[in-house]
Chains A and B, each alone.
Chain A
Amino acid sequence: MKHLTQFILGLGVCLGISLSCAAAAPSDLLATHTAKGVACAQCHAEKKSQKAVNTSTCLTCHGSHEALAAKTKAKDPNPHFTHMGDMNCKECHNIHKPSVNQCATCHTIPMQVP
């Protein structure tokens, strides 16, 4: 019980310092965003927000769905141009937890999702 209390306290301190401590296994995107000097508040406008950011926030830096599709056009199928339409980024990409290959929910399509 004492250990648990210490853990919770520790977690609380950790959360206070950086949201990145909140989840056990962040995706590759945490490192790539951090390396480019993207501060928490640039994506999370609300203070202490732990909600996934909206697609429109992602696109302020990443351009448009068309631009993303052009970037990954060499892949077959192109993960940014599928029959699902213009998907919301958070359907596949996570920052603070592992990303998800949404194609694989129906198909056997291997996809390394950063």
Chain B
Amino acid sequence: MTEEKTVARRAFLKGGIGASIGAGLGVASLAAEAASPKARKATRTANYDTVVLGAGCAGLCCAIEAHDRGGKVVVLEKMGRPDGNTIYSSGRFAGVGSREQAGLNESVDAFVKDMMHLSHGFGDPDLLRAYAELSGPTIDWVKDLGVPLRLVKNLPAPSSSRCFFLSGPGITGGSVLIRQLLKAAEQRKIPVHYDTKAFDLITNERRHVTGVHAMTEAGPVDYLARGGVVLATGGFSANPELVNAYMGGWATRLAVRGSRTTTGENILMTKPLHALLVNMDQFYAGPIIPETHANPARIANSAYGIIISREGRRFLDENLEQAPRSRRIAQLTTDNRSFIIVDAKTDREDNILTKLLKKFARLNSPVYQANSIEELARAAGLPAETTVATVAEYNGAVASQSTAKLHPPISRKAPHALDTAPFYAIPMSGGIAATFGGPKIDTVARVIDFERRPIPGLYAAGNAAGGVWYDADIGGNQLGSAAVFGRLAARDSVARAQKA
């Protein structure tokens, strides 16, 4: 190394640390610390092309792609193993144009149109197109990594023939995915540094991102990135302060589904760089039983039963989509508690009642059963008189085909009366899963700033990225787009490192 280069490198390091963001310390004191021999010894530095934060679907796909494109990549995971939302997810991938879909009538245009429709027009058509175009090749790529994705054809729209499923023996599909992605990373000797928490971004004097300050069990490490830092840290569903700030106090009553360590590093790390944070109030909600984490979704989404509060009264249209229905349980009840009341006829829909009872028994999650509504109410701790009246009013409306006139109305086309014993009361609360808000990205996963310019060296993918999703999506969109934008971030950051 020449004298000039050594000096330049020192200046770079010093400038980088001096310009560090959000450390809560004065720039002068940090610069002084960096200059002292003790601090130089204390903070180690490590050099890479791409530094990926988070070992979930987006982060691992990013790392594998970066490696395969010739990049030197490292994954930093703050927990002792992957603990983002992926391992808790059912493991669905949505996409079009894969090998297995050849000959099926599934186009990028129709896929984008359906996703835009679900977002009520608030989705970003360019981002959705970028995802859609690479979705099929990415599904092939994930399968070639050994992930056993299976296409299920002819599902009801908008899933249609676009959804690939994963399942494992007694584990979630998302866990199958992570196990296989970790194997693929291991085969490539991609380092995954666990118990390594990135706290803040390192920038140069031009505010380009050049690395991250991280804390490891052995002390502080500055991971420097020639190409870029990719935030694949997930969203902020498990950070009650951010949930309160962006969604409101009611949302803190939602049970946290999935990871309890998705705490908003995507927001906290990028905000000081004037990243454009968008869709901050948006998230995916789903049903859950807080004490057992059993999930009554299949029955809640069926054409059977009514949903009542602890006061024994209906309070929403049972026919709402899963996400808005689950949100309303927290919004409209004082305790985020409700019961689905169903009868024995519910099994006519694919034996969903028998399946649920079996699943709930395995998780020791209570379901109340009785031969009359009055006994059922008493068993579940509901006010008997009100509950009986609510069910009688509902049954009367079904008989007179006037459920659309109930308060609140039910928009189901063919509601079923609650008349066949035994009757069941299934507890259900609302839960928060993936948050959709975050730093807005462009079509190659670069984070953009207030002036709509990409911040050089900063990328986001998966739930860490904002601007892709709004309100509702197609099952499998989250993992599918996490993989796609993870790969796009890898491609751009490795190319940038190779040019540097």
Q: Which of A's residues lie within 8 Å of B, judged by CB?
A: 76-78, 81-88, 91, 106-110
Closest Cβ–Cβ distance, residue A94 to chain B (whole Å): 15
- Contact residues in A for B170 (Cβ distance below 8 Å): 76-78, 81-82
Chain B residues with CB below 8 A from A83, complex form:
87-88, 171-172, 174-175
The residue from A78, A84, A106, A109 contacting B81, defined by CB atoms under 8 A apart: A84
**B residues adjacent to A (C-beta < 8 A):** 80-83, 87-88, 169-172, 174-175, 178-179, 182, 291-294, 362-365
Q: For residue B171, which residue of chain A has the nearest CB?
A: A83
The A-B contact count (CB < 8 A) is: 49
Query: With a CB–CB cut-off of 8 A, which chain A residues contact B362?
Result: 76-77
B232 to chain A, nearest CB (A): 17
Q: Which of A76, A85, A107, A109 contacts B87 (CB 8 A)?
A: A85
Distance in angstroms from A65 CB to nearest chain B CB is: 10
Main secondary structure of the interface of B (DSSP, over half): loop
CA distance A94 to B449 in the complex (A): 47
Among B80, B82, B291, B364, point to the contact of A91 (Cβ < 8 A): B80
B172 proximity list for chain A (CB < 8 A)? 83
Residues of B within 8 A of A78 (CB): 170
Residues of chain A with a CB closer than 8 A to B363's CB: 107-109
Alpha-carbon gap, A77 to B172, bound state (A):
12
Rounded to whole angstroms, the CA-CA distance of A76 and B358 in the bound complex is 13
> Which B-chain residue is minimally distant from A90 (CB atoms)?
B80
Q: How far is the CA of A85 from the CA of B174 in the complex (A)?
A: 10
Known contacts A78-B170, A107-B363, A109-B363: does B81 contact A86 (CB below 8 Å)? yes
Cα A81 to Cα B365 with chains together (Å):
21
Residues of A within 8 A of B175 (CB): 82-85
Also in contact, A108 and B171, with CB within 8 A (given A85-B82, A88-B81):
no
Q: Which of B81, B179, B182, B364 sits near A87, CB closer than 8 Å? A: B81
Whole-angstrom distance between the Cβ of A113 and the nearest chain B Cβ: 17
Cβ–Cβ contact B81 & A81, under 8 A: no
